[in-house]
Chain A
Amino acid sequence: MTEMEPREVGIDNLLRRSMTGAVPSLPTDFDQRLMRELSRGSQPLDRYRRILLAGYGVTSVVTSSVVMHGQGLNWGAISGMIVGPLALVAAARWAWRAAERNSRT
């Protein structure tokens, strides 16, 4: 009950008397339907995105390696230039997640 001024008692009583309709609730199977909807909606899209990204990554790595080799770079330097940034991204991601976990605990 909220504190109210005496002149509010009338409107409070009126609201209590008037707003007495049935209280709706979610269907009992709502959670299951939602989880089904989620798995149906996200899985194919994720798989498709992953395949597309992997294809793009492989193509660009192969193309840039061939071009760099054509410019006279040796394979060791080429591997370093490709793997280095990827390792940096992975390390930054790992560090960020670790920091997140630590800040929560």
Chain B
Amino acid sequence: MESDSQLVARVQSGDQQAFAELVRRHSARVFRLAVSILGQEFVPEAEDVTQEVFLKVHHAIASFRGEAEFCSWIYRITFNQAVNLKERVRFRSPHEDETVLYSAASGEPGPDRQAETAQRDRALAECIRTLPEVYQSALRLYYWLGAGVGEVAELLGIPENTAKSYLHRARQLLQGMLKERGYSCD
């Protein structure tokens, strides 16, 4: 199998099939990263971001010199693109309320308990939205999208230990915020 840098060299000499292969290889992860930044409410926007990223990459690939890994380059573009879009859509009403992501576990005893759990999940969703972007993204990748620490690190372009410390810090912050609002984490 050809490496990314071999494919990039082929694209630079005008081979569109090589670009199609790069898209096939990286589109799913670019989309996961975009979704982790934008959240469940803006999945269609994450798809748009994915498309825009590849259009940008296609436009700029001639000047890509391979100083960084191709995937690091593309993930950095994705992160910036998604964060910029998030700023723009912040005040737009979401397609879907993110609290559906924080679905209450079934089988909770009694409607009171269920309502309480739903309320706590809503508070959790709100708290997550106040965290720094990288913490939010790390949390969604790890807990929602099922990424391992290695993948979180790769997508965010950070060492694994930093990814671990982001998750650790995010959990600490969330715990504190929930406590302030009067919710227990147990």
Contact = CB atoms under 8 A, between A and B. Distances in A.
Interface of A: 2-5, 7-8, 10-21, 23-27, 30-31, 33-35, 37-39, 41-42, 100-101, 103-104
Contact of A8 (B24, B121, B143, B175): B175
Given A31-B20, A39-B16, 9 more contacts: A2-B167, A4-B168, A7-B175, A14-B185, A15-B174, A19-B143, A23-B145, A26-B47, A34-B27
B103 A20 contact: yes
B47 A30 contact: yes
Contacts of A12: 171
Contact of A26 (B5, B27, B58, B104): B27
B62 to A, nearest CB: 11
B27 to A, nearest CB: 6
B68 interface: no
A88 to B, nearest CB: 21
Nearest to B51: A34
Contact of B55 (A7, A37, A103): A37
A10 B145 CA distance: 20
Given A35-B20, A42-B58, A100 B28 contact: no
B146 A23 contact: yes
A7 to B, nearest CB: 8
A10 B186 contact: yes
Contact of B23 (A10, A13, A35): A35
Contacts of B5: 104
B9 A15 contact: no
